[in-house]
Structure 1
Amino acid sequence: MTEESDAIRGCMQQSHAYTPPWFLRSMSSVAPFKANITEMIAWETHLNTDYIICIQSTSWSMSFTNYIAYEDLKSGRNRIGHYDLSEKTIQPLSFISGTHLDNLYQVIEVGEANIIPSGSPFSASSAKILPPFTGRDVLCVGKNYAEHAKEFNSSGFDSSDKVDTPSHPVIFTKRFTSIIGDGEEIFPHPEFTQTADYEGEIGVVIGKPGFRVSEDDAMSHVWGYTIVNDMTARERQRDHKQFYIGKSPDTFCPMGPIAVPASKLDKVLCVQTHVNGELRQNATTDDLIFSIPYLIKTMSEGQTLMPGDVLATGTPAGVGIGRKPPVYLRPGDTIAVSVTGLGTLTNRIADLNSPNPIVKRVQNISHLPQTNTTKSVDTSMLTQINNKPLFYKHLGDSKKSPIVFIHGLGGSSEFYTPLIDSIDLKTAHSLHLFDLEGHGLSPTSPLNRLSIESFTEDVNGIFESANITSGASIIAHSMGCLVAVNFALTHPGKVSKLILLGPPPSPLLEADSNATFARAEMVRTKGMAAVVDVVAAAGTSATTKASNQLAVAAVRMSLLGQDPEGYAKACAALAGAKGLDFGAIQATTTTLIVTGSEDEVSPPQLCEEFVKALKGKASLEVLHKIGHWHVFEDLQGVSSAVNDFLR
């Protein structure tokens, strides 16, 4: 153990200020600071000569509250970090458990005390900066600075009450499709407007729900602030006699780059707007006609404000229509809005021939849930097979004879790892393993109806992806045996050997089919825990349950690791499977069937019938006192049978 880890352990059960030297090295861009560690649990591990510490309860003397939303370009996932305004670096942030934060709504809900730095800071230029809040319309206030109200009233574009000082706040919204992040280009809409104008504003972020909030209590509902550029198509604002159309064009609501809790900022905030480097707007929140508490009171009188709602408080004087003559934004212009403690929101007007980026963004929105997706954090681990992502991996020498593995219901490609290692299959063969759709690491779409036929096409996709045209062996288990047989029937010539571990009846008996459909519904409503006891008990032999508890645990872990919806869909695939003619398998394909003497899914009598149907092209191996999970229950017996057959 190192001196550093000894010092850490000395901190346990007491409050102690301690800064491990290795931690300062890893956090060099934000050091020096001290960690006040209370009731700390630390684990030390060695990884690439660096040390990692996991802290259960930590209070940092340095604040990581310049919250920025960004896309991790490696994984394609959204993350939340702390943005160092001076260094232009991002420190990734996580929940205190280490689970990654992926949106600001989570930050608001759990609070600063439950958020910790995670990983090393990196240059902001290597990430795609996202707006801090998306998915909701932005609440806005017009004519809320006295001088701006005057310039707007005299511009000829004011379609509201045309007074210099409104008697009530002018409220409107900006559609959520108008929101873009710092650094993104603003689409100029050349066929929609010739009067694009900027409005630098301070955005109030609501922190807790509120209905009929009083002015006195309003600030307790404020979580923090961000920057908003309330871009406007002036002639549309005028002609439609209201603000929504002119305020909501796609990309007309730049927001960010960060959002910061109110407790970390000055009480009086200054907003400035520069266009192409020229100062155009300069005011503070003291200049507001209607204060932030009054706006919250007004907004909540008839509607409930939600955490994460953004309220743009209005823009000061100095907009384009206030100049004599008016000056509107043109392609290439750069607008930079700065607010005290919030950095600068910078966006450029795009070229006239540029595409509208929101169109593609909206086209990519889907409300169909992709189940079983969270396990594959890095999507590069998935392979596109038949236009859908499946987990696939190759082991061994691709020039040697190929073996494709197909697992069964409730299994995954990992089911075969003990078998592969026990007889070192990857030395003599080219191994192709994948997880069936909805199983293991492979997601599934609600539009995809799983069936033995769909699984078969995925196997063919594996063959095509791996460029396997003939001479392959397939090792399959349980339901996977039906997939393997169907593949051999529908793609004759590609398979030379079949190894079927516990093939089920084809088709299932009506009672078994109904029970399997019922199991699917049970899993959908109550989860895998509702069926694991029954399935594990029925699938293992009495001897296994009595003397091989590790095998039983492996079965349970395999089942409990399944996505309930993916498992339910596969249950329906098995229950609805059509009968297969084993005897029609091409004569050049030889088959080994392995089952257990206590296999209730694939009893020896059933397997003998399969062997007879194969007319001398098959052999049967019955494992003594073994159930249905053959590899887990009798690895030696399965390994011996497979090894002899493949020679």
Structure 2
Amino acid sequence: MRLATIRQNQTTSAARIETENTAVLIPGFKDLGELLTDANWRNIAKDASGQLIEFEKTDLAPLVPNPRKIICVGLNYANHIREMGRDLPKYPTLFVKFAEALTGPYDDIEVPAYGAEALDWEGELAVVIGKTARRVKSSEAKDYIAGYAVMNDYTQRDLQYRTLQWHQGKSLEKSAGFGPWLTTTDSFTFGGELATYVGEDKVQSTPTNDLVFKPEDLVEYISHIYPLVPGDIIITGTPGGVGHASDPKRYIQDGETVRVSIEGLGEIANKTVIV
């Protein structure tokens, strides 16, 4: 099953995706995040018989527009860790992103000129929490995951490396395309390709099972620090092929579109507009 948040008539609605451009609206829920707060969300979504609509790609809003928490994982793909000259970690590296950083999966990303000098791409798989998880075991963690989606995690490398804390280079307003829809856990298998394109150039290509810490591991680790609640997002890290690690370094330029696709989850694409 695929679920989304769709813009319609100056508002939004949770929806069940039927085809690439049709969906059934789920009455009573303004977005997917609100739907997930209902313990019966799966059956509500499955049984929804609301209005069937056609939509354009740009009608897709950020999948969960206002999550309580966005937890990011740094250096979690083995090949990216190696290209950055580091050893495989014993524990996940965590930092946070704020909800204001999210934007639609096909929205333009406007970047102020002062923040565009070292703009990098990071295609990532996102985990969306489906029920409250507190101190859960990895063997049970899948039951707490609603599903998976695609994240286009623009990163300002110059800001990121000003200090030892990465957050300031990772949460630029409306810089993270998120979607296109949630694919529930029963409809997705790990191991397919995660690929990122800048323009026509394929810059990242890695199987999703190259993760050092799998989603279940991350749910266990994080939920022993603080509870995860429905709609919370874990961004699982990016694979090798980032521009900052290239020789010579390459950064995103004005007008370039960054496209991220994950086999089984779909793709998103955001055009960069430097203002």
TM-score by length of 1: 0.40
Find the counterpart in structure 1 of residue 3 from structure 2. 67
Q: Distance in 2 between matches of 1:143 and 1:267?
A: 19
Given that residues 152 and 176 in structure 2 are in contact (C-alpha distance below 8 angstroms), is that contact kept between their aligned partners in structure 1?
yes
2:118 to 195, 213, 232: 195
Q: Distance in 2 between matches of 1:82 and 1:208?
A: 19
Given that residues 84 and 245 in structure 2 are in contact (C-alpha distance below 8 angstroms), is that contact kept between their aligned partners in structure 1?
yes
Q: Matched residue of 2:115: which SS? A: coil
Instruction: Say whether 1:111 aligns with 2:64.
Output: no
Instruction: Say whether 1:81 aligns with 2:15.
Output: yes
Q: Matched residue of 1:82: which SS? A: strand
Q: Distance in 2 between matches of 1:268 and 1:258?
A: 19
Q: Deviations over 1:324-358 (max 9, x none)?
A: 101000111111111122211110101x33xxxxx
Quick one: higher RCO (CA 8 Å, sep 6+), 1 or 2?
2
Find the counterpart in structure 2 of residue 226 from structure 1. 149
Q: Matched residue of 1:117: which SS? A: coil
Q: Distance in 2 between matches of 1:312 and 1:302?
A: 17
Given that residues 77 and 210 in structure 2 are in contact (C-alpha distance below 8 angstroms), is that contact kept between their aligned partners in structure 1?
yes
- CA apart distance, 1:83: 3.2
Structure 2: which 5+ runs fail to align? none
Between Structure 1 and Structure 2, how many residues are aligned? 270
Given that residues 210 and 304 in structure 1 are in contact (C-alpha distance below 8 angstroms), is that contact kept between their aligned partners in structure 2?
yes
Q: Deviations over 1:79-114 (max 9, x none)?
A: 1223355xx3122322xxxx3432113433233322
Aligned AA (2:203): R
Q: Distance in 2 between matches of 1:228 and 1:318?
A: 16
Q: Distance in 2 between matches of 1:189 and 1:243?
A: 19
Residues 269 and 107 of structure 1, relative CA distance in 2, 3 Å threshold:
farther
Find the counterpart in structure 2 of residue 130 from structure 1. 61
Find the counterpart in structure 2 of residue 302 from structure 1. 225
**Structure (1 or 2) with the greater strand fraction:** 2
Q: Deviations over 1:230-260 (max 9, x none)?
A: 2110111111211100001112221111111
Aligned AA (2:82): K
Instruction: Say whether 1:145 aligns with 2:68.
Output: no
Q: Distance in 2 between matches of 1:271 and 1:151?
A: 17
Structure 1: which 5+ runs fail to align? 1-64, 154-162, 354-647
Aligned AA (1:67): L
Find the counterpart in structure 2 of residue 328 from structure 1. 251
Aligned AA (1:107): L
- CA apart distance, 1:286: 1.7
Instruction: Say whether 1:217 aligns with 2:149.
Output: no
Aligned AA (2:258): I
Q: Distance in 1 between matches of 2:111 and 2:87?
A: 30
Instruction: Say whether 1:346 aligns with 2:274.
Output: no
- CA apart distance, 1:264: 1.4
Given that residues 79 and 92 in structure 1 are in contact (C-alpha distance below 8 angstroms), is that contact kept between their aligned partners in structure 2?
no
Instruction: Say whether 1:102 aligns with 2:38.
Output: no
2:240 to 317, 332, 348: 317
- Within 5 Å, give how 1:213-612 maps onto structure 2: 213-350=136-273, 352-353=274-275
Q: Matched residue of 1:299: which SS? A: helix
- Within 5 Å, give how 1:595-634 maps onto structure 2: none
Q: Deviations over 1:374-431 (max 9, x none)?
A: xxxxxxxxxxxxxxxxxxxxxxxxxxxxxxxxxxxxxxxxxxxxxxxxxxxxxxxxxx
Given that residues 152 and 321 in structure 1 are in contact (C-alpha distance below 8 angstroms), is that contact kept between their aligned partners in structure 2?
no
Q: Deviations over 1:276-314 (max 9, x none)?
A: 122111112321111222111111112001111110111
Residues 321 and 180 of structure 1, relative CA distance in 2, 3 Å threshold:
same
Q: Matched residue of 2:109: which SS? A: coil
- CA apart distance, 1:211: 1.2
1:93 to 11, 20, 25: 25
Q: Deviations over 1:121-159 (max 9, x none)?
A: 31425x632101122341110000111112224xxxxxx
- CA apart distance, 1:269: 4.2
TM-score by length of 2: 0.92
Q: Matched residue of 1:113: which SS? A: helix
Q: Matched residue of 1:133: which SS? A: coil
Q: Distance in 2 between matches of 1:249 and 1:129?
A: 20
**Structure (1 or 2) with the greater helix fraction:** 1
Q: Distance in 2 between matches of 1:105 and 1:217?
A: 22
Given that residues 67 and 81 in structure 1 are in contact (C-alpha distance below 8 angstroms), is that contact kept between their aligned partners in structure 2?
yes
